Amino acid sequence: MSDPITRPTVGAQRDGVDPAAVEEKPEGVTPSAIGRLGERKRARLDALAQASADKGGVSLIRDAFRRLRRNPVAIFGAAIVALFVLVAIFAPLLAPHDPAQRFDELTKNLTVDSIPGASSDFPLGSDPLGRDFLSRMIYGSRQTLFVGVVATLIGLALGVLIGALSGAFGGWIDNILMRFTDVMLALPALLLAISLVAMASRSSQWTVILAVAIVNVPIFARLLRGSMLAQRESDHVLAARALGVKQHSIVLRHMLPNAMTAVIVQATLTLSTAILEAASLSFLGLGDPDINRAEWGLMLGVDGQRYFEVRPELAYYPAIAIIVVALGFTLLGEGMREAIDPKNRR
């Protein structure tokens, strides 16, 4: 395709057809069509064709992303998430102190009825063990995001495996897998998570992650199975079968990619519930027993609750942080759902 910018200007060709321009006829336009078009129109068409060619293929995901960017609420959610992610990544640079270090100038003023408040060295004051509260809040974002993201990814992977097998094959495989998810869905999420953690012989942050992941498996599995079933009846899958495409490529290349959109949206929303569930487990004292690890749920549950009358900030800050980050993921997830949902396409 010839570059439209190098074409002769309109004024230069008013007297007749520029022979050079005729020679570099763009491909894909038939000679008869060329004959009927004026040189000026031709240049314009070329420019248009070039512009859209540069744009290239726009996939559904990229298209959805464009719509997401126009949704102010989703952008707000994304900004919150981005802020927390940045804080988590740059925690060592942002935090004024080591979150595990106990400072003498704090511990010496520490009593059961008084915990040192803000000072120039410790902007949010001390925690009940004489550590810098601000640094612990900052490092807490790491732990919270890590647990939420890893738990969601594990849940997503297992759920997709179960849902895809169920939806693609149906029959007795589907029956067994779905009865299994029914049992898990019958129990309230937190209760199930608590019993899973209780089953572990030694608790660590991984017991929390696994418990939260397993709680979310049936949700992903159910959702994917439903969209796989819808895909199985779809015209394009019938068309693929009419072309003799093999069963495994139909499942992996035609059904799964189309069925995944709903699950991806659900994963964003699950990030917020996973964070809340993990925080709940820590709050109940079922989390990581390592007292040096800063974790918002633990800070809220143990320090915040015990010293609420002495220094309520110890409860307020972790609670607000948990709520805000969960809200960020929820808003982003809702925005993604609206952007990807084909019914919202305009």
Smallest distance from the beta carbon of 173 to another protein, in angstroms? 15
Strands (DSSP E) contained in the chain are none
Q: Are 282 and 301 contacting, i.e. CB atoms less than 8 angstroms apart? A: yes
How far apart are the C-alpha atoms of 282 and 297, rounded to whole Å?
5
**Locate tokens 């810098």: which residue?**
132
How far apart are the C-alpha atoms of 99 and 106, rounded to whole Å?
13
- Cα-based distances in Å from 53 to 3, 8, 29, 39, 345: 12, 21, 15, 21, 23
What is the sign of the dihedral through the CA atoms of 74, 75, 79 and 85? positive
Q: Quick one: tokens of 255?
A: 């059904």
Smallest distance from the beta carbon of 28 to another protein, in angstroms? 4
Cβ distance to another protein smaller for residue 104 or 235: 235
How far apart are the C-alpha atoms of 232 and 224, rounded to whole Å?
12
Q: Where along the sequence are the contacts to another protein (CB under 8 A)?
A: 27-29, 49, 52-53, 56-60, 63, 234-236, 238-246, 249, 253-254, 257-258
- The alpha carbons of the chain give a radius of gyration, in whole angstroms, of 29
Smallest distance from the beta carbon of 13 to another protein, in angstroms? 24
Smallest distance from the beta carbon of 34 to another protein, in angstroms? 13
How far apart are the C-alpha atoms of 224 and 162, rounded to whole Å?
9
Query: Which helix (DSSP H) or strand (DSSP E) does residue 275 occupy?
Result: helix 256-283
Cβ distance to another protein smaller for residue 30 or 201: 30
Cβ distance to another protein smaller for residue 49 or 319: 49
Cβ distance to another protein smaller for residue 58 or 291: 58
How far apart are the C-alpha atoms of 240 and 254, rounded to whole Å?
8
Q: Are 39 and 13 contacting, i.e. CB atoms less than 8 angstroms apart? A: yes
Helix (H, G, I), strand (E, B) or coil at 2: coil
Smallest distance from the beta carbon of 239 to another protein, in angstroms? 4
Cβ distance to another protein smaller for residue 53 or 112: 53
Q: Are 225 and 167 contacting, i.e. CB atoms less than 8 angstroms apart? A: yes
Smallest distance from the beta carbon of 190 to another protein, in angstroms? 36
Smallest distance from the beta carbon of 171 to another protein, in angstroms? 10
Cβ distance to another protein smaller for residue 143 or 231: 231
Cβ distance to another protein smaller for residue 47 or 158: 47
Cβ distance to another protein smaller for residue 11 or 56: 56
Cβ distance to another protein smaller for residue 142 or 254: 254
Smallest distance from the beta carbon of 26 to another protein, in angstroms? 9
CA angle 57, 63, 69 (to 5 degrees): 135
Smallest distance from the beta carbon of 52 to another protein, in angstroms? 8
Q: Quick one: tokens of 198?
A: 């209780």
Q: Quick one: tokens of 340?
A: 């990807």
